[in-house]
Structure 1
Amino acid sequence: MRNVEFHNGNTMPQIGLGVFRVEDGEECKNAVKHAIVSGYRSIDTAMIYKNEKSVGEGIKEGMKEAGIDRSDLFITSKLWFDDFGRGNVEKAYDTSLENLDLDYLDLYLVHWPGTDEELMIQTWQEMEHLYNNERVENIGVSNFTIQHLERLLQRTDVKPVINQVEYHPYLVQNDLKLFLESRKIIMESWSPLMNAKVLNDETINEIASETGKSPAQVVIRWNIENGLVTIPKSVTPERIEENIDVFDFSLSDAQVNRINLLNRNERNGSDPATFNGKK
């Protein structure tokens, strides 16, 4: 498994398992367990997914079966709007640890910036407190735009190590990517397969034929070639295995550019500029 390095010197696997919209229960536990046994070392969940307990069970069973230690894994969870603000962040972090049955997280993210700048800044300052007290290995953000990041960086001390955003061939976000690169903040993609929507794309399928790989593997490899961390979601054992089997081939610059040109600025999720946690 290839790792990326954060600006603080810590590292993270470039591919992980995402569990967004996977219900708490056996399916979630088994997906996490199978991922770990199949070679995944990064698992990404969030409080609002309401599946941290099953993720924790899958981690325990997966470690046992794979014969690895907690230190071999990289576990991420996220802070939801309900726990923004002073005095709330550490409690929420402790709740996630309790749900996951872990002593620490490798990465804790502010899930969305929200529409209240002061509240967002206060929240990040509480995240800094967790990090400075060595309760969490790394802190980062999710769904932050350039504007959100500029405000955050102007008013806080600890720079996020990562920004997890919606990113797929129909939403390339090149301006954001260049901004993050200039600040040495890693870009991470959620919904890299756009809920399988991009897998029917003609260009993706042409490149799959050219490389002898599946459309999903082509898109995941495109993420890798562009320097992103990515967390494709699946609960199907065969697809979990397929999604990580992307290190035995590469895409040419021309193939990467053909995929880049598919951009439509099309979002599958909410707009970070206006989303505040309410539907």
Structure 2
Amino acid sequence: MTAAAVPTITLNDGTEMPQIGLGTWKLRGDDAVRIVREAIELGYRHIDTASSYGNEEAIGQAIRDAIAAGDVTRDELFITTKAWQDEQGADRIPAAFQDSLHRLGLEYIDLYLVHWPDPTQGKYVESFEAVARLQGLGIVQAIGVANFYEEVLREVVEKTGTVPALNQVELHPGFSQAPLRTLHEELEIRTEAWSPLGRGIVLMNPVIDEVAREVGKSTAQVALRWAMQLGCSVIPKSGDSRRLAQNIEAASFTLTPAQMDAITELDHQQGFGRVFDDPRTFPA
């Protein structure tokens, strides 16, 4: 099997990150090990997990097995994990990080994120500041946040003096997060799209279907390519071998400006928008 070539993007600290990764939310146990191994064989080098997913041990096992089999080296992989709500706070982040590191069985993490701002706790600033201190110890390469909206993102930068390398947010056709991406560009923060296929809902849209027919690709590939051409990294999840292979091939073609505009315009159509929880209120 020939591994697909995946382009990389550069974070604001100089770190190179594969633009396409594998999301692992809801993957568990032996299935998680199998899927991650298969993804690595296909060419995935960016694997995204989190303490709250309950699968860091399985992800770590898959990584160790792939390295032992000679499929990949640790330096070729880019591993992301995240601190959950109950791990927030200056006093809790260091232990939470070490717990994730232990469960993964790794010596370092490539990217560590504060998973949600959780305004009900009000600890997102001190949590990110604690993450930044971990980076100074050399056990995490890059640091960032997930699901941070404009106000809290500005607050974190102003109060800590540190700019996150990346903000991982819900983003898909029909919800392009234009205002947030504008702020990211201003602050030189990379946008990473979780649920880039919008739970599959957007794949049934006639606009995306028409573009897919024009370029001879699947609707999922078109949705991923659209996000990539916006400058985002994407972390689609799939347990299906055929779709895993299709998703990573989203780097193999280009959409025209007209096709990009047609998909972006879905933001203004009724029935589109955010599919998952709003970080301004979650988990309340």
| TM-score normalized with structure 2 length | 0.94
Q: Could you tell me how far apart the structure 1 residues matched to 2:120 and 2:50 are?
A: 21
Q: Could you tell me which amino acid in structure 1 is paired with residue 273 of structure 2?
A: E
Within the alignment, does 1:211 sit opposite 2:215 as a pair?
yes
The answer to whether the 8 A contact 2:40-2:71 is kept is no
Q: Could you tell me which amino acid in structure 2 is paired with residue 111 of structure 1?
A: H
Q: Could you tell me how far apart the structure 2 residues matched to 1:133 and 1:175 are?
A: 34
The match for 1:6 is 11
Unaligned runs of 5+ in 1: none
The answer to whether the 8 A contact 1:208-1:214 is kept is yes
Q: Could you tell me which amino acid in structure 1 is paired with residue 22 of structure 2?
A: L
Q: Within 5 Å, which residues of 2 pair with 1:1-279?
A: 1-22=6-27, 24-65=28-69, 67-116=71-120, 118-264=122-268, 266-276=273-283
Q: Could you tell me how far apart the structure 1 residues matched to 2:21 and 2:171 are?
A: 15
Deviation string, structure 1 residues 221-254 (Cα, Å, up to 9, x no partner): 1111111000000011111111001232110000
Q: Could you tell me how far apart the structure 2 residues matched to 1:64 and 1:15 are?
A: 24
| TM-score normalized with structure 1 length | 0.96
Q: Could you tell me which amino acid in structure 2 is paired with residue 267 of structure 1?
A: R
Q: Could you tell me how far apart the structure 1 residues matched to 2:276 and 2:229 are?
A: 24
Q: Could you tell me which amino acid in structure 2 is paired with residue 222 of structure 1?
A: W
Deviation string, structure 1 residues 167-201 (Cα, Å, up to 9, x no partner): 00121110101110111100000000011111111
Q: Could you tell me how far apart the structure 2 residues matched to 1:193 and 1:65 are?
A: 32
The answer to whether the 8 A contact 2:60-2:104 is kept is yes
> Residue 80 of structure 2 aligns to a residue in which SS?
strand
Give the C-alpha shift of residue 26 in structure 1: 1.1
Q: Could you tell me how far apart the structure 1 residues matched to 2:196 and 2:47 are?
A: 15
What is the identity percentage for the equivalent residue pairs of Structure 1 and Structure 2? Answer: 38
Give the C-alpha shift of residue 65 in structure 1: 3.7
Q: Could you tell me how far apart the structure 1 residues matched to 2:172 and 2:141 are?
A: 28
The answer to whether the 8 A contact 2:184-2:191 is kept is yes
Q: Could you tell me how far apart the structure 2 residues matched to 1:63 and 1:204 are?
A: 38
Give the C-alpha shift of residue 40 in structure 1: 0.4
> Residue 280 of structure 2 aligns to a residue in which SS?
coil
Q: Could you tell me how far apart the structure 2 residues matched to 1:64 and 1:184 are?
A: 37
Give the C-alpha shift of residue 57 in structure 1: 1.2
Q: Could you tell me which amino acid in structure 2 is paired with residue 6 of structure 1?
A: L
Deviation string, structure 1 residues 31-84 (Cα, Å, up to 9, x no partner): 111011100000000000101111111112233445321010000000001011
Q: Could you tell me how far apart the structure 1 residues matched to 2:100 and 2:257 are?
A: 41
> Residue 195 of structure 1 aligns to a residue in which SS?
helix
Q: Could you tell me how far apart the structure 2 residues matched to 1:20 and 1:147 are?
A: 27
Q: Could you tell me how far apart the structure 2 residues matched to 1:248 and 1:232 are?
A: 16
The answer to whether the 8 A contact 1:4-1:14 is kept is yes
> Residue 107 of structure 1 aligns to a residue in which SS?
strand
Q: Could you tell me which amino acid in structure 2 is paired with residue 165 of structure 1?
A: V
> Residue 267 of structure 2 aligns to a residue in which SS?
coil
Give the C-alpha shift of residue 117 in structure 1: 7.0
Give the C-alpha shift of residue 116 in structure 1: 4.5
Q: Could you tell me how far apart the structure 1 residues matched to 2:98 and 2:37 are?
A: 23
Q: Could you tell me which amino acid in structure 1 is paired with residue 180 of structure 2?
A: L
